[in-house]
Amino acid sequence: MKTSNELEKYYNKIKYFVLFPDKKLKGFTSLREISREIYVDYSTISKRLSESNPCVCYSSDNEYVFLVQKVLSDANS
C-alpha cells in the first residue's frame, strides 16, 4: 500500500483480529478465513465470540491457542 487512502480502505474491510501463539496480530475479513488459517471451525469461533469478545480458541490441528476479537466499529456496535 502506498497511500493512506489504500491503507484506510484495507483497514475498513477488517472485521476480526487474531493474536497468534507467536504473538503476531493479523486482521481477517471473515470467520471462514480465520477458520482456514487456525484450524478452528468458524461456527465454534462464532459461538465463542457471542459469549465473550475477545475469545480464546484452541486449534484442532495442534495444541496452539489463539485470541480472536471482533472489531467493533460505529456500524457494528
Q: What is the pTM of this model?
A: 0.85
Distance, in Å, from the CA atom of 40 to the CA atom of 11, rounded to the nearest integer, reads 24
Residue 9 CB partners (closer than 8 Å, separation 6+): none
Cell of 75: 456500524
- Would you give the DSSP letter of residue 74? T
Residue 75 reports pLDDT greater than 90 = no
Q: Which residue from 1, 21, 24 is spatially nearest to 13, judged by alpha carbons?
A: 1
Asked, as a colleague might, if the bond just before 21 is cis with ω within 30 of 0, I would say no
Cell of 7: 491503507
Above pLDDT 70, what percent of the chain?
94
Q: Tens digits of per-residue pLDDT, 16-45?
A: 999 999 999 999 999 999 999 999 999 999
Residue 74 reports pLDDT greater than 70 = no
> How confident is the model at residue 49, as a pLDDT?
96
